[in-house]
Amino acid sequence: MWPYWLFFAIPALTSLSSRPLRNIRRDGSRRVSVDLLWLLVMLSLALMIGLRDRVGGDWFNYFSYIFQAQFITVQEAMTRSDPGYWAINVLSLELGLGILGVNLFCGFVFALGLVIYCRSMPRPWLALAVAMPYMVTVVAMGYTRQGVALGLALIGLVALGRRRFIWFVFWVFLAAAFHRSAVLLMGIALLMLDFRRLYNLPLLMLAALLLYQAFLEDATERLVTSYIEQEMESAGAMIRLAMNLVPAALFIRYRKRMLISTGERKLYGTMALLGVASFLALVIGLVPSTALDRMALYLIPLQVFVFSHLPDAIGRPGARNQMIVLYILLFYATVLFVWLNFAAHSRFWLPYRMFPPLDIFEAATMGR
């Protein structure tokens, strides 16, 4: 399990010696710049995710896509649910890359979104360390389609925090092409809408309607049957929702002391309220745990946002605030340790395996 610890330790140690960035824009948000070092970070994450071999709980389930993709064209793929993922499978087969090409593409898209999101934070290395235990290890390496959707959604959240609703809708539309559950993010945009600007409402309502018709309409009955009528139970949902509850409570408590833009304050205030509501809904039993667990995946960015701002909110602004950073890192080191050693499905991640160079060609042709 040492690769997981290595990918956590590098940003964690770097964050202890880093001061917060001061590249503030006029609206209070931060400029996003990706230098050579962060390009290397993105490449490393993409390779770790994309070259993994038999790692992840749904590893073998995704082979059904690559096998079926042999018998359809790109045009036919675009008519199916989650058309983006189907199209990537078809194209990867045509290029002779098989499942390896699919995973590399998905790993790159997720890594791109995560790096852009982290670079929009005041402490990007701390943001990356916070993302490693669950967002990267569990989601990106376990739920491939939702990992891609989450990576694209992260770019959309950066845009939404700057009140660029059109760009947000664009990125959500792309995300929904890989996993239709991404349309749930439209609800966040609607909740934070400034109703005094009435021209925003028809725009977002139209976008939500189009996304629903394109990705969810034919699956509504199946989703209701699976998640509501059968009351499916998702193992570990309480823990994962509690992980969103902690930053939600911290944001509500310290939001006025965080140096963030008005758009970010409204966006993450909405996400914080949803984090609290989803936890209470699970405790009371209003909504089945599996439905809440799937929706909560798109609230994980709240953890990255809050904990990358927290040292300056409760410590001395602009200082290293190493003790506060250390406490945050210890919390997420505990999360990684507990998950790797005690989670019900962590055995599917252990040991971490990567395709050996001599076997890459063979792996790339699997499913052809």
Whole-angstrom distance, CA of residue 87 vs CA of residue 79: 10
Give the residue, 308 or 189, on which the prediction is more confident: 308
In a domain, 340, yes or no: yes
Mean pLDDT score, 318-347: 92
pLDDT at 341: 93
Residue 85 domain-assigned (yes or no): yes
**Please, which residues have CB within 8 angstroms of residue 137's CB and are 6 or more apart in sequence?**
4, 336, 339, 349
29 part of a folded domain: no
pTM: 0.89
C-alpha angle 170/222/174, rounded to 5°? 10
DSSP-assigned states of every residue in 117-157: HHHTSSSHHHHHHHHIIIIIIIIIHH-HHHHHHHHHHHHHH
DSSP category for residue 21: P
Q: The domain containing residue 266 runs over which residues? A: 35-345
Residue 26 has pLDDT above 80, yes or no: no
Q: What percent of the chain has pLDDT over 70?
A: 83
* Inside any domain, residue 319: yes
Among 175-184, 263-272, 331-340, whose mean pLDDT is lowest? 175-184
Assess whether pLDDT exceeds 60 at residue 217. no
> Does any domain span residue 2?
no
Q: What is the mean pLDDT of residues 283-309?
A: 84
Is 282 contained in some domain? yes
Q: What is the pLDDT of residue 98?
A: 86
Residue 364 pLDDT greater than 80, yes or no: no
Return mean pLDDT, the chain. Answer: 85
- Mean pLDDT lowest for which of 118-122, 182-186, 225-229, 294-298? 225-229
Between 145 and 58, name the one with better pLDDT.
Answer: 145
Question: How many domains would you assign to the chain?
Answer: 1
Q: Is residue 355 part of a domain?
A: no
- Pick the residue with more confidence: 287 or 68? 68
Q: What is the pLDDT at residue 284?
A: 86
Beta bridge partners of 24: 30
**What is the pLDDT, as a whole number, of residue 81?**
81
Tokens standing for residue 133: 């235990």
How does pLDDT run across 119-140, given as a tens digit for each residue?
999 999 999 999 999 999 999 9
Quick one: average pLDDT of 351-365? 65
End-to-end CA distance of the chain: 31
Mean pLDDT on 236-254: 91
Q: Please say if the pLDDT value at position 197 is more than 80.
A: no
Residue 9 inside a domain? The answer is: no
Q: What is the mean pLDDT of residues 325-334?
A: 97
Q: What is the DSSP letter of 212?
A: I
How many other CB atoms are found less than 10 A from the CB of residue 71?
A: 8
